[in-house]
Amino acid sequence: MTFRTNLQQEPAVNITSSRRRFLQFGLGLTASLAATPSAFANTLQQPDRKLSLLNLHTGESIDATYWAEGEYQINELAVINKVLRDHRTGDIEVIDKNLIDLLNLIHTKVDSNETFHVISGYRSPKSNAELREHSSGVAKKSFHMKGMAIDIRLPKCQLSSLHKAAVNLEIGGVGRYSKSDFLHIDTGHVRQWGS
């Protein structure tokens, strides 16, 4: 893991169909592990899952291998939570592992080595309410407040390509914001909007 920050002080870390897919994967994996000892060895041989993020508001970035040796890496996830915190309040929330996996899938789908630029990760209820006062495009019950949504762009990847990859996965919500040049993805129910 590589973590870079411009901050002097670190805040404390408080540690559908799309969900059906994740649950089915987990149940299938559990069943296969119970069935044969060699299945566990296969899990350990799964490729590592990596994620590179740059928070555009704080300047913090991370290159994390968040899944290795058949399991999520707790320390890496904690740093991802920190990088994706609410930059307005400093509040940190546990980011949904399904969202992190979804970012990894999209990255693979568009075949990019670039770092995701993060416009918005976790949003505290206070920040969400303030944003709603100035924009009709902010949901009252935003998935950002649950650590289940992120707004991103990917350098050297057209927004249309990023959007197409996310939509084709049929996992969660996908919002395209062409004027602001970013994509919203979340792990809520499957839906899409924007232009």
pLDDT tens digits for 114-131?
999 999 999 999 988 888
User: pLDDT tens-digit profile of 125-170?
Assistant: 998 888 888 876 788 888 999 999 999 999 999 999 999 999 999 9
84 with 150: CB under 8 angstroms? yes
The structural domains of the chain, with segments of one domain joined by +, span 16-194
Q: What is this structure's pTM? A: 0.77
Output the CATH code of domain 16-194.
3.30.1380.10
100 vs 115: CA distance, rounded Å: 14
pLDDT tens digits along 85-108: 999 999 999 999 999 999 999 999
- Looking at every residue in the chain, the average pLDDT score rounds to 84
Q: Which of 3-7, 52-56, 134-138 has the highest mean pLDDT?
A: 52-56
